[in-house]
Every structure is written in C-alpha cells, then in structure tokens.
Amino acid sequence: MLKIEHLSKQFGDLQALSDVTYNVKKGEILGLIGQNGAGKSTTFHSILSFIHYDGKISWDDQPINERVFDQIGYLPEERSLMPKMTVEQQILYWARLKGKSAKQIKPAIDQWMKRFEVKGKKTDKIKSLSKGNQQKVQLICTLIHRPSLIILDEPFSGLDPVNVDILEQAILNAKKEGAAIIFSSHDMGNVEALCDELVMMRRGEMILHGEIRTIREQFGKNEIFVTTDWPTAQLSQLPHIVEVTELSHHRYRLRVDDPAAGKPIFQQLSNGEYMEEFSQQPPTLDEIFRLKAGDPR
C-alpha cells in the first residue's frame, strides 16, 4: 500500500502542497484531480523522490528507495522517448532500468505491441512513428515490467476514444493483477469509469477524498433527467424547480432545491401513466469539479 502522510511542499512563496494525507491500496485505482497548479504533478514528483518534501511517503510501510523504484511504473505528463532508438531498444532500455533483463522482456514485446495496437514494427525507430503510437510505446515502457505501483500523469492526454479504451483496459488489467494505481486526469469521464476513490485538490490542499459514489451522494440528488412533452415554461412552474435545461428534443434536466421534491414532481409529470425516462441523480463528477476545484470567488 502507498501511504502519503502530511505531505507538504513549498517553492519559495508558493505552497504547492499542504498537509496532504491518503492511501492507495493494492488492487485499487485512485484518481487525482484538480486544476492546473493544484499540486498533482508535485505529488507524483514527491512520491518518486524527484524533489525534497515535508511529511512521509511509504510503500508497504518502507521508505521509497532504489528497491521500491524497480516496482514502480511511471508515465510523466511530458512524454520522453529517444527518437533514434528502435521500439524494441527503447522498451528494453527502460526495462533494464527497472531491473529486468532483455531475456525476460524481449519475448513479451510483440504481445504488448499487439495489445496496444501499435502501428509499426519493433524494429522501427521511434521517430518514424506517429505521435499517438509513440505514446503507446511509452505506455508499454511504463507497464511491461508489471509494476506493483503505477503512477500515470495525464495518461489519456492526446488519445482518441479508441486508444482511450485500450488504455483503460490496460489499467483495469493491472488492477486485477493487484497493482496500486494513481493517475491524474482532466477528463472526469475517465476518472468516474475507472476509479475506486478520488482525491480532489485545489491550490495544494485536499478538498475532497473518498469513494466517487459516496462523494456524489454527499451533494444530494438534486438533478432529475426526464423525457416529457411538457414545454420548458410549464416545467419551470413545478414546485422546487430552480433550473430547466433542454438536453435534446423532449429531454430535460431539472435542477431542484430539495431532493424530496422528486416524488411529487414524478407524480405530476406521469399522472399515473408510463414515462420513458425519469431519473433522479446527484450531480456528475464534472459538475462537482467545477463547483469545488475552481478558485473560490
């Protein structure tokens, strides 16, 4: 288990991290979210001992040292491959840095390239690949030694939906194998689809932490999604309605000031008849992010 305890970091007058504490268990995925400058990359750099920090970070109750580094897979936000190396040379280079021999890794390269649908051969030079395929190669470098702790800084950046699906499946496979995984993303859809827990940060402080479903429900089921022939003006007159948004033809999102209003609104809209859609939900993670992670005014 990764333990982060009272982590703080200051750069001059900037408090980049302030008393951050949470754990990432084996076989668990944690999403680290926040605006640019919230402290996500600084957290990763602290875990990897790239910078000095105040507080304590440990893996399986041991300080993170050279032995632990071999168990870590890290994908930085700024991708870094050596363009004149071949794909195979690049993968073997990073694997050797993690204590793996060419004999151990070479037989797996074809399988990993197939899994990530890399368009190219392992004898191709990195510079000959498209940007998307270079990114896939770097992901292979991150995961091929089967790390037990995986740190991914904006792993979905620049990937199209098909390749996002491939990466999501690779992350879920690593979770199934027992890895502890922490990743940052600006796409709340990725976070909600993959993560067991999330940490939301703002200006170096942790402002939300917990299971995604629990966090969403803390904000109350104030949104109703409904398909109805009622026009917007008529919906706006229903009790406790504070906002009506037309999402598509005859489909609306109703925001209420009291979740208890859902039942009487349903009764009025349905009048005892079948309704194609009536769903009362808490705010989406994207909406919570806008509410909590933005700079307070």
- Specify if 289 maps to a domain: no
Same domain, 207 and 231: no
Whole-angstrom distance, CA of residue 293 vs CA of residue 102: 45
Both 85 and 161 in one domain: the answer is: yes
Q: Which of 165, 184, 217 is the last residue of a domain?
A: 217
- Tens of pLDDT, residue by residue, the chain (297 residues): 999 999 999 999 999 999 999 999 999 999 999 998 999 999 999 999 999 999 999 999 999 888 889 999 999 988 789 999 999 999 999 999 999 999 999 999 999 999 999 998 999 999 999 888 998 999 999 999 999 999 999 998 878 888 889 999 999 999 999 999 999 998 888 899 899 999 999 999 999 999 999 999 999 999 999 999 999 999 999 999 999 999 999 999 999 999 999 999 999 999 999 999 999 999 989 889 988 876 544
Whether residues 67 and 205 fall in one domain: yes
Residues 247 and 147 in one domain: no
d(CA 250, CA 227): 6
pTM of the model: 0.86
CA distance 156 to 164: 6
Residues 88 and 231 in one domain: no
How many independent structural domains does the chain possess? 2
Residue 243 sits in a domain whose CATH number is 3.30.70
Sorted by sequence, the CB contacts under 8 Å of residue 56 that are 6+ apart come out as 3, 4, 5, 6, 7
Residue 54, SS3 per DSSP: strand
Structural domain span for residue 151: 2-217
19 and 164 housed in the same domain: yes
- The reply to whether 227 and 195 lie within a common domain is no
Pick the last residue of a domain from 177, 200, 217: 217
Amino acid identity for residue 153 in this structure: D
Q: Tell whether 95 and 193 lie within a shared domain.
A: yes
